[in-house]
Structure 1
Amino acid sequence: MFPKPIQQSAPWARLTYKVLLPVALVLWLLPLIGVALTSVRPQGDLAAGNYFGIPSGFAGIENYTAVLTNSPIATYILNSFKVTVPTVIGAIALSCLTGFALAVYRFRFNLGIFFLFVAGNFIPFQILMVPVRDMTLRAGLYDTTLGLVLFHIAFQTGFCTLFMRNFIKGLPFALIESARVEGVSEWKIFRHIVLPLMRPAIAALAVLVFTFVWNDYFWATVLVQGQHAMPVTAGLYSLNGQWVAAWHLVSAGSIIAALPPVAMFFLMQKHFIAGLTLGATKG
């Protein structure tokens, strides 16, 4: 039923795996390697058409210094934190409550409500562009950080609820029943019994939602126009000049913008892996 571990496969399969894995890894990393090389190229290389060759010199210090000092990238990164951090907190807080309710309580429309959360994940987000933009305009939230935060919380809560509900379903229900027999209130059951057991799932979701929202480009361009609220993904385009595409600066800015999600993953790596694999094996 489950795939056989590679260590138990035939010798030819293990050899093929060892040969193809580095090749696949290099192919997957080629775009990132290209961006990293472009970020340290002199501007003359790009003007001469040297896009994929070895850089003629190292201009990394000049490029990164120019990005940090001559552009509003610090403001864009701060805006991204203002959008991402509240979204992670809001989406996870709501999904913990809704996941607990859908997993523990039995009521008439339990399964129907759960299917609504699941169905929301299958809606192509591009078709929501016009209605969401009109909604933010009517509510006075267009071109604001709050508008982006509220939209991302609403959009991410469906996936987070699906994740949390299934995670709580796998917890031993006897703990909750024992607490109810002792007369513990439902809020205290959630806070003191269920919530501590959900820490691996919360950590995994925090990394996933942080990465999704931080890397969002579509809604950052649809719901925001001014620099005062523009996240870094949309703001990177402003590093280009009016007449000349400064791809070396855009690449340097992209590397800087990618650092927070990478740092978030490595800081939460242990809990992230535990949250994704908890319950995946038995025995």
Structure 2
Amino acid sequence: MFPMPVEHWKPLNRRIYKLSLPIALLIWLLPMIAVMVTSIRSTEELTEGNYWGWPKHFALWANYHEALTTSPMLHYFFNSVMITVPAVAGAIALAAMAGFSLAVYNFRGNTALFATFVAGNFVPIQILMIPVRDLSLHMGLFNTLPALILFHIAFQTGFCTLFLRNFIKQLPYELVEAARIEGAGEWTVFFRIVLPLIRPALAALSILVFTFVWNDYFWALCLTQGDEAAPLTVGVAALKGQWTTAWNLVSAGSILAALPSVLMFFAMQRHFVAGLTFGATKG
């Protein structure tokens, strides 16, 4: 059976695997390590050209304090929270109802509608830049938080529906029939039967969508102008000066911007793994 467990590999292959894995991990983490080291490097060392050496003087508190106080980072952080939380909640709610309908009900056009959700995930987001920007201008939503919230809900719902429809489809249909026989309505079946059973999938999907929306830079740059509605990703880019750039402050801001999604993943890691492996085995 493929893939073969590592314990069953030939000794030479196992040795090569054990040697190459730390090297691959180091290469993968190297950019993040460089950003973390730069975030604690003093401005004097950067001026002297010490970009890759180990810092002689640590400026951890000074850099992070300056990144938070000399720019509206807290305002950007608040905007990111106000964008991400409603977008995740809205996308998950709509996708759960749409996935339930596509998985449970057999109606005309079910397959075509599901194929539309699938096809929408293959549309390159770059080609939507001009129409979405023009639409936000015509609707009077440009450079506002609702513009980003509505767009992320619309764009993430397709992927979430595809994800949840497949999970709900794996549930025993007899549970739905038994609940209907007992007199439960469709909303009761949805809230009392289906949602508790797909809770691991909802948790895993919430983490994924939170990461997508929180780390978004492309649409935040297209649909905002200035600091009023800019999220944290655009705020970090604003730390770059016109003539010179304090890369230690940019690195410190990048670390601060990445912390919420990293902390959420580790806090929800057990649910995330359970959601990804939900339905993978029988019995």
Q: TM-score, normalised by structure 1?
A: 0.97
Residue identity matched to 2:88 = V
Show the counterpart of 1:248. Answer: 248
Gaps of 5+ in 2: none
* Aligned 1:233-244 pairs, distance under 5 A: 233-244=233-244
- Equivalenced residue count is 283
Listed one character per residue, the Cα deviations across residues 115-172 of structure 1 (whole Å, up to 9, x for unaligned) are: 1011111000000000000000001110000000000000000000000000001111
* Aligned 1:112-131 pairs, distance under 5 A: 112-131=112-131
Listed one character per residue, the Cα deviations across residues 44-77 of structure 1 (whole Å, up to 9, x for unaligned) are: 2222222222222211111111111221111111
Residue identity matched to 1:120 = G
Show the counterpart of 1:229. Answer: 229
* Aligned 1:73-222 pairs, distance under 5 A: 73-222=73-222
Residue identity matched to 2:82 = K
- The residue matched to 2:157 in structure 1 has which SS? helix
Return the offset for 1:9: 2.1
Return the offset for 1:35: 0.3
Distance 1:16-1:260 versus aligned 2 partners, 3 A rule: same
Residue identity matched to 1:56 = K
Residue identity matched to 2:143 = D
Q: Percent identity?
A: 61
Give the distance between the partners of 1:170 and 1:7, measured in 2 at CA: 32
- The residue matched to 1:211 in structure 2 has which SS? helix
Listed one character per residue, the Cα deviations across residues 57-114 of structure 1 (whole Å, up to 9, x for unaligned) are: 2111111111112211111111101100001000000000000000000011001000
Return the offset for 1:262: 0.7
Show the counterpart of 2:28. Answer: 28
Distance 1:2-1:100 versus aligned 2 partners, 3 A rule: farther
Residue identity matched to 1:95 = A
Q: TM-score, normalised by structure 2?
A: 0.97
- The residue matched to 1:53 in structure 2 has which SS? coil
- The residue matched to 2:101 in structure 1 has which SS? helix
Give the distance between the partners of 2:100 and 2:2, measured in 1 at CA: 30
- The residue matched to 2:229 in structure 1 has which SS? coil
Listed one character per residue, the Cα deviations across residues 14-45 of structure 1 (whole Å, up to 9, x for unaligned) are: 22221111111110000000100110111122
Return the offset for 1:7: 2.2
- The residue matched to 2:107 in structure 1 has which SS? coil
Give the distance between the partners of 1:272 and 1:193, measured in 2 at CA: 21
Return the offset for 1:244: 1.2
Give the distance between the partners of 1:97 and 1:9, measured in 2 at CA: 46
Residue identity matched to 2:47 = A
Give the distance between the partners of 1:214 and 1:165, measured in 2 at CA: 24
Moved over 3 A (4+): none
- The residue matched to 2:143 in structure 1 has which SS? coil
Give the distance between the partners of 1:95 and 1:160, measured in 2 at CA: 5
Return the offset for 1:224: 0.5
Return the offset for 1:278: 1.1
Residue identity matched to 2:173 = F
> RMSD of the TM alignment (CA)?
1.1
Show the counterpart of 1:48. Answer: 48
Show the counterpart of 1:280. Answer: 280
Listed one character per residue, the Cα deviations across residues 159-203 of structure 1 (whole Å, up to 9, x for unaligned) are: 000000000011111101111222211111111000100100110
Show the counterpart of 2:261. Answer: 261
